[in-house]
Amino acid sequence: MMKIALDAMGGDFAPRENIEGALLAARLHGIPIVLVGDEKIIRQHLSRSRFSSDLIEIVHAAESIDMHERATAAIRSRRQTSMRVALELLKEKKVSAVISPGHTGAFMATSLLILGRFPGIERPAIAGYLPTLRGACVILDLGANVECRISHLLEFAIMGEVYARLIEKKDQPTIGLLSNGEEPSKGTALLREAHEQFKSRFPTYLGFVESKDIFKGKVDVVVCDGFIGNIFLKTTEGVIGAVYSLAKQDIQKNLFSKLIFGLFYLLFKNTIKNLGRRFDYAEYGAAPLLGLDGLVFVCHGRSSGKAIKNAILTARKSVEEHLLENLKVEVMKHSQTKSEAT
């Protein structure tokens, strides 16, 4: 029986929203969940919840990692964190996947410690799912690897392609390298060399892609180092936030504009909500940590119960589609040729 472990103590709204998400997934989709964290606190929240489900199990973990801690210190000093206990359940095959909305750096580091990488992978990556004007797009790395060699970018491309194919159901996903222009003369020296290698290795490689074209849905898999990926992600988040704040300032200027906006909102509620949701990455659900020897998903720190539920659904799909096994096979296929490219 497939069970999914959820770090109940990680994230800005833990454990409330985490538990809410677990209950939603259990009740609406019949998915068995293992909540990992302080048993007493979890039981209190469960008893107060509007929902209940006998698909929910609790595994106690005495400690947790704060969102603002230094990852390395937290991992070294504490061995009973909810993250670590959840990952040990996965290692022991008691669950099929682990989800945490907690400290991303600590989660990646603990996952590496407990699960390790699978053969052929030097650098696991955080892959994100980005809504575009033409369906979804997978982008990686979003921040696990600040400085990358070409061989790392190749690994990201292989894994991103498998993820887009199995989970996003893209037929022959196209691949692009994020750069400052489309022409092969653009980019850093490393990117230009990567471009040549991508061309010879991936039949669906389209070349350099500009960040503005990602939103148009020009490409299915975007590859970049974790520094660029992080800048890209946080810029997106920042622009959306600023647009909302500016609109709000203007709307709240006087009672008349508030009234008119209220009317407009009633009529266009879904448009406005969809817009927000399509670009709010707290709502996307889960970002897989690819390259680890286990299915591990990180959620945004501000994840709502609904976002947690979405993450659980993505995790279930990944288990059902045998994502890990497929990643391993594909990386193995490429590893012969890849070893030349360092």
Q: Which amino acid is at 130?
A: L
User: Are 41 and 15 in contact, with CB atoms under 8 Å apart?
Assistant: yes
Residue 252 touching a second copy (CB under 8 A): no
Tell the smallest beta-carbon distance from residue 10 to a second copy (Å): 18
Whole-number Å distance between alpha carbons of 108 and 143? 10
Which of 28, 73, 113, 243 touches a second copy (CB under 8 A)? 243
- Looking at the chain, how many residues does it have? 342
Residue closer to a second copy (CB basis): 265 or 322: 265
Residue 73 found at the interface with a second copy (CB under 8 A): no
Residue 154: phi, psi to the nearest 5?
-65, -45
Q: What is the DSSP letter of 117?
A: B
- Kindly tell me which residue out of 2, 73, 146, 332 binds a second copy, with binding defined by CB under 8 A: 146
Distance of closest approach, residue 85 Cβ to a second copy, in angstroms: 26
Question: In angstroms, what is the minimal distance from the CB of 213 to a second copy?
Answer: 7
Tell me, by CB under 8 A, how many residues bind a second copy: 55
* Choices 111-119, 142-150, 163-171, 310-318; region in contact with a second copy by CB under 8 A: 142-150
Helices (H), the chain: 16-29, 39-48, 71-77, 82-91, 104-114, 150-166, 189-201, 211-214, 226-251, 255-279, 305-320, 323-338
Q: In 3-state terms, the chain is what percent helix, strand and coil (to 5)?
A: 50, 15, 35
Q: Which of 118, 129, 232, 284 binds a second copy (CB under 8 A)?
A: 232
Out of 62, 181, 199, 262, which residue is the one contacting a second copy (CB under 8 A)? 181
**What residues make contact with a second copy under the rule CB under 8 A?**
70, 132-133, 143, 146-147, 178, 180-181, 183, 185-189, 210-216, 226-228, 230-232, 234-243, 245-247, 250-251, 257, 260-261, 264, 267-268, 270-271, 274-275, 278-279
